[in-house]
Chain A
Amino acid sequence: MSSLSGATLDAISLLAGGDAQLWGIIGISFRVSTTAILIAIPPSLLIAFLLAYGRFPGRRLLISVFSTLLSLPAVVVGLTLYLVLSRHGPLGDWRLLFSQTAMVMGQIVLCVPILVAMGHSALQAADRRAWETARTLGAGPLRAVLTVMHEVRFGLFAALLAAYGRIIAEVGASMMLGGNILNYTRNIPTAIALETSKGEFAQGIALGIVLLVLAFILNGLLHYLQGKGRFAV
């Protein structure tokens, strides 16, 4: 118990003292995950919209596929992309393995199903009259799509926060695709795994605190937005 409290105090002093290595790891984590989610948002929302408003063969199957992919294990994504990006894989010539780009790719694969499935639910719950009113008021298809998305913005923000929460805390894909290289691909979850295996609990706890604070902020935002969404209807 005393070692835990001691490690926690050390962790807080590391965070407060602005430890360069620690904050570097935090920076890489946020940079990689933010890049991944920004790339994933436009196609995911477009797919979600097509699934909610389009009528085409295989639509229901696609919805089931994306719902199933919600529970896709991160290490399976890591393993699959590892095989694709490794020297003898189909994209081996791109030499992306053990880079931040590879980590971004893995995180995109992980967050797209969340954005699509939750985005689809939010858009499907939207009032059909929103689309029809937009069109009858002269909006082109793109403006009408953006209007409907604005109407369900709280649901879409919830999808975004859930996806971000998932990818910033995943360890399997980042470890396999990034290789946990210090100052390059070491992010919060892979650093926690490494420091814990070395018995260096202070840095692990410090990074854990950052993740917990982030989870708390994301959940707080989620509850706030869900509340706003309920009253806004």
Chain B
Amino acid sequence: MSSMLNLQFNNLCKRYRRRTILVNLDITLRDGECTLLCGSNGAGKTTLLRIMAGLEKPDLGTIDFGFGQMKWRRCKKTLQEKIMYLHQQPYMFDTSVRKNLAYALPSGLSNAECSQRIDEALEWADLRRLATAPATNLSGGEAQRVALARAWLRIPLVLLLDEPMANMDQESRLRTHNLLRQLKDQGMAIIITSHDTMQFQSLSDRQLILKDGKISIELSTNQAENVTAFPLAQTSLHDTA
């Protein structure tokens, strides 16, 4: 993992035609910090992640990697290189699991090094038995593990996950949770969007609630636990969300 991360997105604004999605939104990311991003459908969670990953242009806003404020367009390439975005249903290239993992390897490695790194990633994500299987035939949970193994190989500064456990069975959720825990322990900053706050409470350091295009509430894990301990407070939180 590289040096201390202090990545700031400031004043992000985004509109789709007449609909306002994000309004002057500020967010800061730090090494090894796991952020849970909540909000109702259409609150702008996915849009925010895609802007952060350099996949979607904001109407306004600046980014600070620690070298001063820069416009999104100027640091789009850096964002794509340093930040990894995982779709709700991760995309698998139409080839084997092994080759899907190879795609995430940095260039310049020898064949032997590539093979060894892929073997390690297969072991890490418990995918060894699926190494030669067509990746497009994997179940949702298996595909998510391949996507996380690609992140493990690529080692981005920030990992963005859009509803990573939607439509997963309990076993797959546990496995995914464990893998995310290991990535976090490696120092990777992680942002997860989810409607199910309980699922990620043990993993997340803070919860952000997105409403009306802004972060309306920021809670530390302790505060979030207290909120979920009191049904009335939880209801009001969910209303807000």
Contact = CB atoms under 8 A, between A and B. Distances in A.
Interface in A90-143: 127, 129-130, 132-139
A20 interface: no
Contacts of B93: 130, 133, 147, 150-151
B80 A136 contact: yes
A138 B85 contact: no
A232 interface: yes
A133 B85 CA distance: 8
Contact of A129 (B53, B87, B106, B136): B87
A61 interface: no
B136 A137 contact: no
A232 B134 CA distance: 9
Interface residues of B, number: 19
Interface in B84-134: 84-85, 87, 90-91, 93-94, 103-104, 106
B101 to A, nearest CB: 10
- Which of B54, B81, B83, B91: most chain A CB closer than 10 A? B91
B150 interface: yes
B154 interface: yes
A136 B136 contact: no
B154 A138 contact: yes
A134 B154 CA distance: 12
Decide if the interface of chain B is mainly helix, strand, loop or mixed.
Answer: loop
Given A129-B87, A232-B136, A233-B136, A136 B94 contact: no
Interface in A146-178: 147, 150-151
Nearest to B91: A129
A136 B53 contact: yes
Contacts of A130: 91, 93
Contacts of A139: 103
Contacts of A151: 93-94
A139 B107 CA distance: 10
Contacts of A127: 91
Interface residues of A, number: 16
A151 B93 CA distance: 7
A123 to B, nearest CB: 14
Contacts of A134: 103
A134 B91 CA distance: 9
Contacts of A136: 53, 55, 80, 83-85
Interface string B66-81: 0000000000000011
A150 B94 contact: yes
Contacts of B91: 127, 129-130, 132-133
Interface of B: 53-55, 80-81, 83-85, 87, 90-91, 93-94, 103-104, 106, 136, 150, 154
Shortest Cβ-Cβ A-B pairs, 8 listed: A129-B91, A133-B91, A137-B104, A136-B85, A135-B80, A136-B84, A129-B87, A132-B55
